[in-house]
Amino acid sequence: MNAPGWFWIAFVTVILAGGLLAGGVILFVSWNHPALTVDDDYYRRAVGYDDIKAQEARSLALGWTLDLELNRVVNAGVRETRVGVRLSDRDGAALDGAGIAVETFHAARAGDRFRATLVEASPGVYEAFMPLRRVGIWEFRFVIRSGDDLFTATLEREF
């Protein structure tokens, strides 16, 4: 027995509408999910790649050492992470009075970025509390200014 003509029209319409709906859902998730992201300034960084490499060379020439320490703590009932940095010069002497900014993100959630300015707790030791609650690999991007010197570093830590 043959199916009526309206059946085939409805069948094709449902298939096409389902494909459009699935495509819309995929686009919505890919645009809004923090795990599916591109670095915010990727184009600027790509165009200025030579400048980035020159800054890395200047940072290396300074000879500064950046030791990162991460401790999970409960502060007023809220789980936080104490991000501590020990900054020393080429000779191992503590560098005090530096301005340290950090941007960090979890490897699985690069869209969720956390930024902080570290405060000097003692000579050469800087710290800040950040809401880093996920377990896994984190990337930390530091920008350190001391006088006329600019030092940048990128570190990865699993904790």
| Phi, psi dihedral angles at 71 (to 5 degrees) | -135, 125
> Which residues, other chains included, contact 66 with Cβ-Cβ below 8 Å and sequence gap of 6+?
85, 86, 87, 142, 144, 151, 153, 155
70 and 104 Cβ atoms separated by less than 8 Å = no
Rounded to whole angstroms, the Cα distance separating 23 from 82 reads 42
CATH number at residue 86: 2.60.40.10
What tens digit of pLDDT does each residue of 20-69 get?
A: 999 999 888 877 777 777 777 788 888 999 999 999 999 999 999 999 99
pTM, two decimals, is 0.79
Q: How far apart are CA 89 and CA 66, in angstroms?
A: 9
Residue 37 in any domain: the answer is no
**84, 88, 126 from 119: Cα distances, Å:** 9, 15, 5
Are 27 and 49 members of one domain? no
Same domain flag for 12 and 46: no
Q: What is the pLDDT of residues 88-107, one digit of tens each?
A: 999 999 999 999 999 999 98
Look at the chain and report how many structural domains it folds into.
Answer: 2
